[in-house]
């Protein structure tokens, strides 16, 4: 009888394997640097949240009307503060372990395979779709800047070329290794988002209430009003998407048993959320108050004067979405590089990073050029992917891991968020999809 091969011959020694894993973790973008301060959390979260979506909030208000619009926005803010707090707490819920990535938390709650299948497709859909929308937004804002400055005296340039100009910046920036290396870009982006939000409501206020302003719902038919309402819900949901990168941001903060990362992280989150509330409420309400149902899906397009201020605001949007793109791309890079190095056994290094990240930027640019339906994209993705990862998945994970007592306040709070989140996930994409179909009817590819 042949001797049975010992298990030691089949698998590398434990030390050797963990040594390789440690080297990989030290190279991957999420875990390679843990030196972030609390204010990094603040501006990363502002950059992640106050995206292009803030400029579409007056439009969402015109689809929802005063009462429902304010109610949905306020309720969204309260729910997302609560679910974000849960994620910050869950990051180190297991002693001696950190859930550095959303899917790692999902795997702990649902099991290794099921956790991956539940979290990764949704998280990727959010991050990749946001990167595509930011490509379109960056190109649109560059075009608007060009058109305002030229004032009809220059040759008309296709939106396609502006998206390509915007993408060219990311071919370079995407090579920055980790979250902490993009902190200065993220800070600039956060300052810009605050600045252009202020210009959006300030210029609207300066313009004053439009003559014969109409606050009735945007659409004239009942069908249009229903679909518009659903699209407005999607726009609101899109505005709160930072949960998809919150664990990855927290992973960059140092942590010890005496000083866990949740304290500086939460401090940063609260500062960010105060700024977010100030930006969202002022832009949405003042923009809608001034223009009523005639506001565009990007309030800066509705505002044409003063020209220099609108040109400046559009360049601020460009700088901001450059930062936002990088914040949302970093977890995608981490997933791609984990797969390539851990599963497919590629050697970690500059060459791998250069090829994989360049291909990703090229992909988002191509899709952005092909489907630049800005308003519809926000409504559609806002409902289908943002609602689960932001509104109710953290609550489900909390119920599984923390097991609050049945009928307690925590139990009720989580179930209310889950029910509202599921309703949002089902209803919101319908309005966005209709918007995409309507836009597609008149759209010519690569015009």
The pLDDT value recorded for residue 411 is 92
Buried b (16+ CB within 10 A) or exposed e, 399-416: beeeeeeeeeeebebbee
Exposed, middle or buried, 6 (CB in 10 Å: 0-12/13-18/19+)? exposed
> Which pLDDT score is estimated for 13?
42
Q: Residue 270's pLDDT is what?
A: 93
Prediction pTM value: 0.85
213 Cβ partners below 8 Å, 6+ apart? 289, 290, 291, 292, 294
Residue 383's pLDDT is what?
A: 64
- Burial of 278 per CB tally in 10 Å (0-12, 13-18, 19+): middle
Q: For the chain, give the mean pLDDT.
A: 83
According to the model, what pLDDT value does residue 445 have?
A: 59
Write out the H or E segment, with its range, that includes residue 415.
helix 409-442
pLDDT of residue 381: 65
d(CA 190, CA 276): 10
Q: What is the pLDDT of residues 367-389, one digit of tens each?
A: 888 877 655 566 566 567 777 88
Residue of 251, 284, 267, 229 whose CA lies nearest to 26? 251
Residue 6 has pLDDT above 50, yes or no: no
- Which of the pair, 11 or 288, is modelled with greater confidence? 288
> pLDDT, tens digit, for every residue of 87-113?
999 998 888 788 888 989 999 999 989
pLDDT at residue 5, as a whole number: 42
**Tell me, what's the pLDDT at 363?**
95
Tokens linked to 291: 């223009």
Residue 32 has what pLDDT?
80
- Domains in the chain (CATH in brackets) are 33-442 (1.20.1740.10)
Helices 38-49 and 243-250: crossing angle in degrees, nearest 10, is 160
Q: Is 193 a residue whose pLDDT tops 80? A: yes
Task: Write down the pLDDT at residue 175.
Answer: 92
What is the Cα 328 distance to its own chain's centre? 6
Is 65's pLDDT higher than 90? no
Q: Which tens digit of pLDDT belongs to each residue from 121-148?
A: 888 888 888 888 889 889 988 988 888 8
* Residue 212 predicted with pLDDT over 90: no
In this prediction, residue 16 has a pLDDT band, given cuts at 50, 70 and 90, of very low
> Is residue 360 within 8 Å of 375, Cβ to Cβ?
no
Q: Is 138 helix (H, G, I), strand (E, B) or coil?
A: helix
CB of 408 closer than 8 Å to CB of 438 = no
Q: Give the CA radius of gyration of the chain.
A: 23
What is the structure's pLDDT at 365?
Answer: 93
What percentage of the chain exceeds 70 in pLDDT? 89
Q: Region 165-176: what's the mean pLDDT? A: 93
- Give residue 32's region: left, alpha or beta (phi > 0; psi -120 to 50): alpha
Average pLDDT over residues 7-15: 42
């Amino acid at each position: 009888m042949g001797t049975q091969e010992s298990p030691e011959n089949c698998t590398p020694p434990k030390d050797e394997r963990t040594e390789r894993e440690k080297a990989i973790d030290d190279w991957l973008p999420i875990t390679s640097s843990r030196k972030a301060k609390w204010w990094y959390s603040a501006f990363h979260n502002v950059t992640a949240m106050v995206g292009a979506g803030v400029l579409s909030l007056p439009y969402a208000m015109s689809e929802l009307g005063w009462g429902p619009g304010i109610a949905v926005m306020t309720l969204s803010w309260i729910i997302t503060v609560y679910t974000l707090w849960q994620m910050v707490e869950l990051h180190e819920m297991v002693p001696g372990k950190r859930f550095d990535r959303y899917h790692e938390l999902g795997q702990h709650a649902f099991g290794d395979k099921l956790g991956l299948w539940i979290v990764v497709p949704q998280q990727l859909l959010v991050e990749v779709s946001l990167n595509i929308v930011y490509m379109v937004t960056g190109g649109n804002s560059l075009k608007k800047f060009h058109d305002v400055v030229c004032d009809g005296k220059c040759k008309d340039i296709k939106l396609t070329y502006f998206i390509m100009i915007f993408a060219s910046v990311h071919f370079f920036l995407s090579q920055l290794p980790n979250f902490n290396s993009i902190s200065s870009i993220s800070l600039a982006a956060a300052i810009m988002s605050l600045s252009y939000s202020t210009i959006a409501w300030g210029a609207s206020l300066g313009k004053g209430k439009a003559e014969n302003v109409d606050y009735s719902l945007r659409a004239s038919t009942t069908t249009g009003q229903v679909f518009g309402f659903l699209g407005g819900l999607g726009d609101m949901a899109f505005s709160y998407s930072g949960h998809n990168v919150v664990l990855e941001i927290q992973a960059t903060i140092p942590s010890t048993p005496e000083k866990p990362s949740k304290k500086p992280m939460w401090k940063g989150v609260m500062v960010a959320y105060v700024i977010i509330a100030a930006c969202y409420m002022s832009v949405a309400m003042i923009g809608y108050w001034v223009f009523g149902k005639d506001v565009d899906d990007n309030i800066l397009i509705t505002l044409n004067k003063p020209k220099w201020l609108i040109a400046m605001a559009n360049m601020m949007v460009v700088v901001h979405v450059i930062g936002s793109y990088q914040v949302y791309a970093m977890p995608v890079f981490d997933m791609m590089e984990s797969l390539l190095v851990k599963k497919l056994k590629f050697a970690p290094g500059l060459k791998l990073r250069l090829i994989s990240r360049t291909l990703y930027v090229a992909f988002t640019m191509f899709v952005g050029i092909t489907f630049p339906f800005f308003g519809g994209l926000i409504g559609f993705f806002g409902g289908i992917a943002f609602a689960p990862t932001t509104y109710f998945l953290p609550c489900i994970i909390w119920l599984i891991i923390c097991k609050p007592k049945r009928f307690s306040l925590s139990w009720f709070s989580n179930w209310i968020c889950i029910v509202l989140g599921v309703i949002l996930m089902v209803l919101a994409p319908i309005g966005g999809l209709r918007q995409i179909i309507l836009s597609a009817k008149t759209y010519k590819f690569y015009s």
